[in-house]
Amino acid sequence: MFKQGELVEIITASQQFKGVFIKEEKDFLVLKLGSGYNVGIAKRNIKDKKSLGAPKHEAGEEKHSKESQNDKLPLISLLHTGGTIASKVDYNTGAVIAKFTPEDILALFPELKNLANINSRLISNMLSENMRFSHYNLIAKAVEHEAKEGAKGIIVTHGTDTLHYTAAALSFILENVSIPVVLVGSQRSSDRPSSDSASNLLSAAVFITHCKAGGVFVCMHENTSDESCLIIEGVNVRKMHSSRRDAFRPINKGLVAKVDYSSKKIEWVKDLKKSKEDSKLRLFNENIKVGLVKSIPNMFADALESYKDYDGLVIEGTGLGHMGFSEVDEHTKENAEIGKSLKHLAGKMPVVMTSQTIYGRIDMNVYSTGREQLGMGIIGNYADMTPETAYIKLAWLLSNYKKEEIKALFEKDLRREISERSEKESFLI
């Protein structure tokens, strides 16, 4: 039979398949097609099969030497944390795994050398669902170091699943950051023909070379083609699709800029102002425990009580920011218990209300439910942060400020995470 990683051709009665051999099961073979997707082929349907080449993984690892630098170009530091943008096929499973070193990234995207001098550094090599607060601190410290070494800007390669959490976290940690820090991911791995790695990474570099202010941003596809990328502030971005290349959208705020991938030109949408204050780090306490719970029909009070030993709680409420805790008939007795739990938690820790609608602003003054929540001490009124940004902000505040300061600071705009007014133009753009 074939070896893992071998290029093969398999013919059935109705189809012809060409791809990389992944593995053989009892009744079928698994190939990775040129599109990047896996396919299982039943053995009983195979009419002919043949090898088209040696296993890719037997060719050995390519070694990349350091590139000479151009003194006329700005310095961009590339901090590598893993994710799909730095992934390739694992021929044992057919999945993609974080495997490229920073040198591999430079070899993959040689156009970077025409835009800036690149200093690449490995922070971690992990899929983003494994990120913890301690990793945010590691990245932030690396950003501070590279800035002191003279970097014009920083690109952080990151897995897309929790990229928006990290973008928000760095936005709060890096107070008054003087250079642009751009998080870049990829929805398709770098060894797939449909990969968005190159356009995202190169567009981020173009943005940095033209940006004259500091801040934390995300650079990802504008649409499903490779024509342009969006620059979005780190506290106002969210992953809105599991697989589309244009999955990241700005929430409740407009864009910062659009980068044309072909021409390398920038369309500025927002005027960024450089901070006059000194930059500093305010790190996370990695032991802080903050919960994030969604209000749902037929909820039970013990779902809230499970957070009684936490330091804070964020609620994804319904609509304008509500949780059902009213006993209105014989079927809603448990709702009253939810109200007791909610009041108990709000009395011992910061409890924040957000909305699962994603877009829009919290207003707990409109309905009686909201007004009762305000009476319990629940905070977050009039904010329009995503639940993810609210979660990160609360954890960061608890890490750096006294408990009695949290309410005022949470409802204060610290990093442009709360907009002054709701803009209809920002909905679903």
Q: Is the domain defined by 7-54 classed in CATH 3.40.50.2000?
A: no
Q: Give the span between the Cα atoms of 165 and 163, in whole angstroms.
A: 5
Work out the average pLDDT over 348-362.
Answer: 97
- Cα 166-172-176 angle, rounded to 5 deg: 125
DSSP string, 137-168: HHHHHHHHHHHHTT-SEEEEE--STTHHHHHH
List pLDDT tens digits, range 22-55. 888 889 898 888 766 678 899 999 999 999 987 6
List pLDDT tens digits, range 215-232. 999 999 999 888 899 999
Q: Give the span between the Cα atoms of 198 and 357, in whole angstroms.
A: 33
Q: Which residues are tagged catalytic? A: 84, 160-161, 239
**H or E element that contains 258:** strand 257-260
- Are 336 and 344 contacting, i.e. CB atoms less than 8 angstroms apart? no
Question: What's the confidence (pLDDT) of residue 420?
Answer: 87
Please report which confidence band the pLDDT of residue 60 belongs to, taking 50, 70 and 90 as the band edges: very low
**Cβ atoms < 10 Å from Cβ of 423:** 13
Question: What's the confidence (pLDDT) of residue 242?
Answer: 93
| Of residues 275 and 371, more confidently modeled | 371
List pLDDT tens digits, range 253-307. 989 999 998 899 999 999 998 888 899 999 999 999 999 999 999 999 999 999 9
Kindly provide the residue ranges of all beta strands, DSSP E only, lying in 209-261, ordered along the sequence: 215-221, 228-233, 237-239, 248-250, 257-260
**H or E element that contains 115:** helix 112-115
Q: Give the CA radius of gyration of the chain.
A: 24
Please report which confidence band the pLDDT of residue 88 belongs to, taking 50, 70 and 90 as the band edges: low
Amino acid at 210: H
**Cβ atoms < 10 Å from Cβ of 350:** 23
Domain boundaries, the chain: 7-54, 75-281, 290-410
Instruction: Map residue 79 onto helix, strand or coil.
Output: strand
CA distances from 160 to 173, 201, 242, 258, 393 (A): 20, 13, 9, 19, 20
Beta bridge partner(s), residue 114: none
Query: Which DSSP state fits 42?
Result: E
Work out the average pLDDT over 392-411.
Answer: 97
Q: Is the pLDDT at 92 greater than 60, yes or no?
A: no
The 10 Å CB-count burial string (b at 16+, else e) for 210-234 is ebeebbbbbbbbbeeebebbbbbbb
- What value does the mean pLDDT of the chain take? 89
Q: What fold does the segment set 75-281 form as a domain? A: Rossmann fold (3.40.50)
Q: Is the pLDDT at 193 greater than 60, yes or no?
A: no
Q: Give the span between the Cα atoms of 375 and 351, in whole angstroms.
A: 12
- Are 153 and 182 contacting, i.e. CB atoms less than 8 angstroms apart? yes
Q: Is the pLDDT at 68 greater than 80, yes or no?
A: no
Class of the CATH-defined domain 290-410: alpha beta
List pLDDT tens digits, range 93-148. 555 555 556 566 677 778 888 899 888 888 988 889 999 999 999 999 999 999 99
Do 75-281 and 290-410 come out as alike in CATH topology? Answer: yes
